[in-house]
Amino acid sequence: MIRAIAERVRQGKRTISFPKGTPVVPDRLRGLPVIDQARCTPGCSRCVDVCPTGAIGLVGQKVSVDIGKCLFCLDCVAACPGGAIGFSQDFRLASGSREALVYSGGEFRPACALEERTRRILGRSLKLREISAGGCNACEADVNVLGTTVFDLGRFGIQFVASPRHADGILVTGPVTANMRFAVMDTYHAAPPPRIVIAVGACAISGGPYIDHKEVSNGVDALLPVDLYIPGCPPHPLTILDGLLRLLGRL
């Protein structure tokens, strides 16, 4: 025990200062798309053709990226001859509206807080039951890492619980496979109202790479009303944390 305490003292404080400070993100982070409509080559649809999930739309010469479907694979960046599409390091991608995730450049509308009545009921805590509904474990891993000393999710009063009866809502990862549909529904109804639903990752939002497969539901909002969408494949832990704090009105 003494050695463990001494080691923690030696390491010092390792929890990031977010949201009070600006976090340092890795160079390889792929965040909010950067779309320069002026660089779009007339008559070109290469970005649309190469997108594995149909996330890119083209109306006339206006390009849009559905961040809820996007896998951030960079195939569109490599295919675009004019360099009209890129990705920034802006990790703030969460939204309360599915329509807001269809992005064509300019200002992005991040998630808004829950209505005041619901926040008053929740108080200063948020208990969530996580459901892996057929996920590959990438989104699950980035959700779990929020409990480490680096992010320390518990300092915001947010915790994951073992029983939905102790939860304020559910957090779903994965495309909701056919054999998980009843489990998702049962877990949702076991949580006391007003219960919230959070979809984490491209699979939970739209089906991800499994979109339109007969064994998936193309995301949880085909079954339940979703209060918060957190895009990514997988989303960075900061993206998840930013979305949760915005939902609670902490940002």
Residue with tokens 């001859």: 81
DSSP element (H, E) containing 242 = helix 237-247
Q: Give domain 116-247's CATH architecture.
A: 3-Layer(aba) Sandwich (3.40)
- pTM value surpassing 0.85: yes
Going by their DSSP bridges, the two strands 158-160 and 85-87 should be labelled as unpaired
Report the sign of the C-alpha dihedral through residues 144, 146, 149, 155, in that order.
negative
Q: Domains of the chain: which residue ranges? A: 116-247
Per-residue pLDDT reduced to its tens digit, 203-216: 999 999 999 999 99
Least confident window among 16-20, 100-104, 167-171, 206-210: 16-20
138 burial class (0-12, 13-18, 19+ CB within 10 angstroms)?
A: middle
Question: What average pLDDT does the structure give for the chain?
Answer: 93
Cβ contacts of 173 within 8 Å, gap of 6 or more: 130, 131, 132, 133, 135, 139, 140, 143, 200, 201, 203, 204
**Which percentage of the chain shows pLDDT scores above 70?**
100
Position 4 scores a pLDDT of 80
Per-residue pLDDT reduced to its tens digit, 10-52: 877 778 889 988 888 989 999 999 999 999 988 899 999 999 9
